[in-house]
Structure 1
């Protein structure tokens, strides 16, 4: 029997911080109390030393690039980076190569993860203009949801047929997650900037090309369609002030049919950072103005936005160093997401309890993930210890992303993830990842 006792922790769970101990047996938390004495002689004792013990974060949107794009990252490399950052479960997107748009291709990803993932995993089924039959075969018990791209981020996966969209929305009871940007608006904007700059468009024009209007047009249509059909809709990576009017905080999360996510980069960067970061903060949707960033923070704190995620999407340095039009959008974030939010706590923007709500509890609630996302007896022991006063500088030497770069390079964070547990196994300690992939397939209560 694998028995671990975590002593002297500030346990963060369901809006409270309580000092105490947590006892783990095999995969599960079996006791939470003030002062636990181990009964097993071979119990491993870890002194949390008064640091925060949080549920492992659940990242509901990542791109781990396998199969087909493993020069950028793989399930193994990026899940290693995730557990080093306190993320113990992830939901990965279907725009790998080939796209996960059949049940067979989807299952192949699960088989890869079963052998190589350091964190718990689920994979979204991808919708296209012509695969409704395959989408409807998706098993709600062991697949997180259906992903639709309503913008051109992913080429062949663009869903732009209104009849197809309505059929998908009205035919499935599963959660539908959407990337919302209006393709026609983006193309029109791009042509304007090409007329002005030719092929040498400055990256600072990115938020004007992938504009607030492009985002709002698409997200408002998706939400109107969800209301019309009764679909369960989750809107990924919101980035604009205007979109915040589309979401509500007047009903409990468990009753919401339409939920919202914001990503680390839209909370951290603004268009002022393009001058120094260039393509390294080129994402879709684009990082926009400081006013947009403030509106996202306000909506996050008043519960119009329900989840904080990463949209982790690594590309190689060579790819990112190309000209604006050639450089792909996306960047690596899973290793630094939790500490970035703890940094925001240091800045007085958000409480530790709210961080845990948005990164741990709410993803578990929204996707109905079984026995994860909380520090509760009987739940899986997916946990992270965070020292909130342990400064460290992000350098190339301590990056675990296969792509070898980070938009946070040279930044000194005040907080550090010191330990991570996945399914009761201590997988990360003393800046080292234990080389044993112990991730399990996530299951869903639906």
Structure 2
């Protein structure tokens, strides 16, 4: 089994910074300590660089099966490891949708031997697959996904009786996209009557409004409280919603948790004029005040996780008029650099980044032996050079769709190495031939 010795690391883990060496033996972290040596190990000196647990992204859309002209498991996991993401949880709105146990297992088969990063998939709840969901083993996958507002793919769950039964009949984390569909439809009718299909994209956050988000998320949270369900609200986009979440108990004791995505922390409605439909997401990027309030909630622990909602579409698709342009964009390669940039600006500490992007996803989804730099844990690790500047350009993108909403942005730090299960899959712009990603296991 291969050994790799990382020398002179600044390890950021569990709220501390430690100067130490780290020995990888096979797929595990073998030793952490001062002045380590091993004659059988390949030595990599990372003096001056930060060593973090690999990033865990709890929400991505890699588009396989059925939509692979946008992206696939191989291409998007490759982009992910270039961005320091070693583990991802992929969403069920593919073609076919992941709404049966058989289709779930087929998806795991597609990832086996092809994924650069570790993987699990969410099982999609629908208006008519409750009995199938009841059969799903709690350790089979990362959780259940409910679209309580329409999104890419037709998986809207709008039967209130079914929603309550789902909440009552699973022990797994229920991750929910919360937007009230009837509110959105009313708003869309108003703007379609005025503009036709070519609605100016600046009205996107008016159509997919604060009201639509808050109404849906507050209703889901009330139902979770009444049923005792374990609810995780994906991609908060409004400041108003942050009042619904608690920060007075440890994450492991929370029954209701929240996530915010990179784009809602970076962009605001002021960017629609320059970015157009490239920053059209569901839920919508909203005001700078919303963005500031999301940051406040992230930093005071009402929001638990930072993720990407990576959702690639082709440029041709995104260039369609408003009503036909799909929502979503590619983000996995740039999520960690974007957060580190905010750290350099004094917005968030490196330790908090690790908490929100590594430790907390592992806690929330009860991942087995991942999410930390600990002896005996899987060697999922990322090295960041805090002084390596680079500009996002088409020539350094790894997304299959070939574009990024961050094009033209200069980041002042860079991911230099990414290890997945002890394998150096990304090294200074070069990729290993190995695809060492493994199916996630859980402590449930």
Give, in angstroms, the shift of residue 273 of structure 1: 0.1
Query: Given that residues 383 and 418 in structure 2 are in contact (C-alpha distance below 8 angstroms), is that contact kept between their aligned partners in structure 1?
Result: yes
Give, in angstroms, the shift of residue 50 of structure 1: 2.0
- 2:419 match: 421
- Where 1:372 maps in the other structure, the secondary structure is coil
Query: Given that residues 142 and 442 in structure 1 are in contact (C-alpha distance below 8 angstroms), is that contact kept between their aligned partners in structure 2?
Result: no
C-alpha distance in structure 2 between counterparts of 1:260 and 1:419, whole Å: 30
Q: Could you tell me which of 235, 243, 260 is aligned with 2:258? A: 260
Assess, with a 3 A threshold, how the Cα gap between structure 1 residues 265 and 12 changes in structure 2: closer, same or farther.
same
Give, in angstroms, the shift of residue 430 of structure 1: 1.6
Give, in angstroms, the shift of residue 187 of structure 1: 0.2
Q: Which whole-Å deviations, capped at 9, do the CAs of 1:49-103 have from their partners, x for residues lacking one?
A: 2210000000000000000000000000000000010000000000000000000
C-alpha distance in structure 2 between counterparts of 1:115 and 1:161, whole Å: 38
Map residues 202-217 of structure 1 onto 2, 5 A cutoff.
Answer: 202-217=200-215
- 2:56 match: 58
- 2:285 match: 287
- Where 2:120 maps in the other structure, the secondary structure is strand
C-alpha distance in structure 1 between counterparts of 2:160 and 2:359, whole Å: 34
Q: Which whole-Å deviations, capped at 9, do the CAs of 1:391-412 have from their partners, x for residues lacking one?
A: 0011111100000000001111
Q: Which whole-Å deviations, capped at 9, do the CAs of 1:146-169 have from their partners, x for residues lacking one?
A: 000000114431000010000000
**Alignment length (residue pairs):** 444
Map residues 99-114 of structure 1 onto 2, 5 A cutoff.
Answer: 99-114=97-112
- Where 2:154 maps in the other structure, the secondary structure is helix
- 2:22 match: 22
- 2:227 match: 229
C-alpha distance in structure 1 between counterparts of 2:157 and 2:272, whole Å: 30
Is it true that 1:322 corresponds to 2:320 in the alignment? yes
Q: Which runs of 5+ in 2 are unaligned?
A: none
Map residues 127-138 of structure 1 onto 2, 5 A cutoff.
Answer: 127-138=125-136
- 2:93 match: 95
Runs of 4+ in structure 1 off by over 6 angstroms are: none
Give, in angstroms, the shift of residue 249 of structure 1: 0.2
- 2:381 match: 383
- 1:33 match: 33
Q: TM-score, normalised by structure 1?
A: 0.99
Query: Given that residues 140 and 444 in structure 1 are in contact (C-alpha distance below 8 angstroms), is that contact kept between their aligned partners in structure 2?
Result: no
Q: Which whole-Å deviations, capped at 9, do the CAs of 1:157-189 have from their partners, x for residues lacking one?
A: 100001000000001111100000000000000
Tell me the C-alpha RMSD between the 2 structures: 0.7
- Where 1:53 maps in the other structure, the secondary structure is strand
Map residues 41-440 of structure 1 onto 2, 5 A cutoff.
Answer: 41-440=39-438
Q: TM-score, normalised by structure 2?
A: 0.99
Q: Which runs of 5+ in 1 are unaligned?
A: none
Q: Which whole-Å deviations, capped at 9, do the CAs of 1:308-350 have from their partners, x for residues lacking one?
A: 0000000001001111111100000000000000000011100
- 2:12 match: 12
Query: Given that residues 152 and 327 in structure 2 are in contact (C-alpha distance below 8 angstroms), is that contact kept between their aligned partners in structure 1?
Result: no
Q: Which whole-Å deviations, capped at 9, do the CAs of 1:7-30 have from their partners, x for residues lacking one?
A: 111100000011111111000001
C-alpha distance in structure 2 between counterparts of 1:139 and 1:154, whole Å: 26
Give, in angstroms, the shift of residue 46 of structure 1: 0.7
Give, in angstroms, the shift of residue 35 of structure 1: 1.6
